[in-house]
């Protein structure tokens, strides 16, 4: 599979949440009970039950307050900080561009949540045996030659999907051909080494105004590697042993719970 990307044109998004609904339908995610807090954004944040969210922002300009809608979810970094921070390799960068998660390996340390500069991975806080949850880039659909559910559902063409180089070329062409319409910066092309989600923003609107962090071009894992090379080997071994013990204990507890459920059914 190719190294694919989204090209999200914020000027075309009308906040219909079609992508949000499509994501929930494809991944069989349940709805969330929420409370109105004065914003049309709903749910208010990403969670284990919401992997794609349309963010509502009011940006004050000289000609008044304007509404902007931004699709947020996992950025699927080319060099993901979450994967580099995971001590057991539960997160993996694939050839398709997707960063996928192996829940059977995860030990629940949540280092990935702390490492992610976009604050994307979420946790199943309400479960006895919780896992990390986030957008999968519809890795299963891509494996069958299908495009991600969110891109297919978008009615305005705000979410384009394809080869990353082609998406970068398309984004730069739009900026060059319509300088009066677009911010000259293609967000995600170089941030933290590049991401699989690229954003086009309206002219005179900063990405920070839309909640997207201002980041350096240096991939975050390079900082991790530089730090880890000074960590004594004994600490790494002890950490691995503790991880293995945690995993075995968790599996033992899960097996006991499953046995009780079987006996109860009988």
Tens-digit pLDDT profile for residues 67-77: 999 999 999 99
Same domain, 167 and 201: yes
Looking at the DSSP bridge assignments, the partners of residue 60 are: 65
Are residues 69 and 150 both part of a single domain? yes
Chain length of the chain: 266
Residue 131 located in a structural domain: no
Q: Which residues contact 163 (CB under 8 A, 6 or more apart)?
A: 2, 3, 4, 5
Residue 125, classed as helix, strand or coil, is coil
- 215 & 243 share domain: no
Is the pLDDT confidence value at 27 over 70?
A: yes
Query: Do 48 and 163 have their domain in common?
Result: yes
What pLDDT, on the 0 to 100 scale, is given for residue 36?
Answer: 83
Tally of domains within the chain: 2
What is the mean predicted confidence (pLDDT) over 42-60?
A: 94
The reply to whether 86 falls in a domain is no
The span from the CA of 245 to the CA of 224, in Å, is 24
Q: Which of 248, 187, 240, 177 is nearest to 213 (CA)?
A: 187
Q: Considering the domain boundaries, does residue 124 fall inside one?
A: no
**214 half-sphere exposure, CB direction, 13 A CA radius:** 3
Residue 83 lies in a domain: no
- Both 187 and 237 in one domain: the answer is no
User: 98 in a domain, yes or no?
Assistant: no
Using an 8 Å Cβ cutoff, are 1 and 143 in contact? yes
Distance CA 225, CA 220 (A): 9
Q: Sign (positive/negative) of CA torsion 243, 249, 251, 253?
A: negative
Is residue 144 domain-shared with residue 216, that is, in the same domain?
A: yes
Same domain for 181 and 240, yes or no, is no
Q: pLDDT-based confidence at 261, cuts 50/70/90? A: low
Q: Is residue 170 part of a domain?
A: yes
Indicate whether 141 and 203 sit together in one domain.
Answer: yes
Give the dihedral of Cα atoms 244, 90, 95, 201; nearest 10 deg.
-160
pLDDT, tens only, 197-226 = 999 999 989 999 999 999 999 998 876 555
162 lies in the same domain as 246: no
Q: What is the pTM of this model?
A: 0.84
- On whether residue 256 sits in a domain, the answer given is yes
Task: Judge whether 91 and 99 are in contact, CB under 8 Å.
Answer: yes
What is the domain extent for residue 259? Answer: 231-265
Q: Are residues 246 and 145 in the same domain?
A: no
The closest of 179, 198, 181, 180 to 189, measured between CA atoms, is 198
At 13, is the pLDDT very low, low, confident or very high (cuts 50, 70, 90)? very high
pLDDT tens digits, one per residue of 116-171: 999 999 999 988 889 999 999 999 999 999 999 999 999 999 999 999 999 999 99
Inter-CA distances, 261 with 4, 213, 256, 265, Å: 43, 46, 9, 6
Would 105 be classed as within a structural domain? Answer: no
Cβ–Cβ < 8 Å for 97, 198: no
pLDDT of residue 257: 54
The CATH number of residue 175's host domain is: 3.30.70.20
What are the CB-based long-range contacts (under 8 Å, 24+) for 224-229? 224/81, 224/84, 224/85, 224/115, 225/84
Return the closest-CA partner of residue 6 out of 79, 99, 76, 93.
Answer: 76
Mean pLDDT score of the chain = 87
Say if residue 248 is in the same domain as residue 165. no
Whether 252 and 176 share a structural domain: no
């Amino acid at each position: 599979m190719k190294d694919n990307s989204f090209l999200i044109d914020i000027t075309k998004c009308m906040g219909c949440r079609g992508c949000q609904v499509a994501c929930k339908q494809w991944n069989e995610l349940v709805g969330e009970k929420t409370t109105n807090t004065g914003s049309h954004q709903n749910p208010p944040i990403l969670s284990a039950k919401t992997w794609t969210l349309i963010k509502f922002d009011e940006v004050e300009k000289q000609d008044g307050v304007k509404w902007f809608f931004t699709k947020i979810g996992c950025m699927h970094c080319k060099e993901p900080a979450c994967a580099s921070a995971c001590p057991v390799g539960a997160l993996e960068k694939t050839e398709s561009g997707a960063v996928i998660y192996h829940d059977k390996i995860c030990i629940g340390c949540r280092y990935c949540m702390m490492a992610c500069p976009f604050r994307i991975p979420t946790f199943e806080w309400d479960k006895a045996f919780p896992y990390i949850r986030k957008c999968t880039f519809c890795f299963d659909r891509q494996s069958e030659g299908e495009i991600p559910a969110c891109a297919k559902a978008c009615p305005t063409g705000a979410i384009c999907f394809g080869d990353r180089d082609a998406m970068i070329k398309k984004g730069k062409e739009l900026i060059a051909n319509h300088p009066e319409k677009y911010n000259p910066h293609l967000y995600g092309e170089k941030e933290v080494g590049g991401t699989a989600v690229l954003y086009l923003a309206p002219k005179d609107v900063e990405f920070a105004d839309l909640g997207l962090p201002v980041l350096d071009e240096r991939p975050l894992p390079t900082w991790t590697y530089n730090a880890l090379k000074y960590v004594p080997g004994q600490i790494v071994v002890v950490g691995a042993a503790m991880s293995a013990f945690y995993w075995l204990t968790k599996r033992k507890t899960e097996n006991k719970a499953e046995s009780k459920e079987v006996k109860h059914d009988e």
